[in-house]
Amino acid sequence: SQTIHQWPATLVQPVGSPLSLECTVEGTSNPNLYWYRQAAGRGLQLLFYSVGIGQISSEVPQNLSASRPQDRQFILSSKKLLLSDSGFYLCAWTRLAVNNEQFFGPGTRLTVL
Amino acid sequence: AQSVTQLGSHVSVSEGALVLLRCNYSSSVPPYLFWYVQYPNQGLQLLLKYTTGATLVKGINGFEAEFKKSETSFHLTKPSAHMSDAAEYFCAVTQYGQNFVFGPGTRLSVLP
């Protein structure tokens, strides 16, 4: 069966510090991968998605970046965090078929102080 | 472009009462529709999905939803609410299985 991992689960960082969040999928190959952010009391905002190694599409211009160094690994990064980067970050994957749902990881709670 | 609206950011029902969470979408081609549930500080879990075929879809935890093309709706229902149903619910749509669009979510409260 497939599983998706995210770490860390929680993170408290000062403004201006770097960020690296990791997402790993097990039990499947060549998934589409996604990063979402949930601000407090708001819906999901798609940040990045990837259809393959090294292929990243950005949905919202911001100080965040994403990379996919391996088939089942998706990393969200920032060189300098802003207060507005606080939120709940969710990674998701889907199989390469038009009618398949997304499977979500457990999320990372980021607080920028 | 696709979009999803969920009427009511917060819905309260009594335990044992009918749950109705509304979802309307816009899509230029036949969509695939999903309902997800999110408990506090957790990821989203799929409740049910509509792809093709029968328009009444049954999901986990006693939930079901009906795809109505003429109304561009995919409302979620449950005959009898349970305290454990209290959570955030998201409706989502995709056309080609690559880009998913989520609604803003509806927080369901279940009163004893």
pLDDT per residue over B57-77, tens digit each? 999 999 999 999 999 999 999
User: Omega of the bond prior to A106 within 30 degrees of 0, cis?
Assistant: no
Q: Which of A48, A93, A102, A110 to mutate to test the interface with B (most CBs of B within 10 A)?
A: A102
pLDDT score for A42: 72
End-to-end CA distance of chain B: 41
- Residue A98 pLDDT exceeds 60: no
Distance from CA of A94 to the nearest CA of B (A): 8
CB within 8 Å: A99 and B96: no
pLDDT score for A99: 63
Give dist(CA A17, CA A66) in Å, integer.
Answer: 17
For residue A64, what pLDDT band results from cuts at 50, 70 and 90? very high
**Side-by-side strand order, sheet with A64-70:** A3-7, A19-26, A73-78, A64-70
Measured between beta carbons, the chain A residues lying within 8 angstroms of B100 are: 34, 46, 94, 102
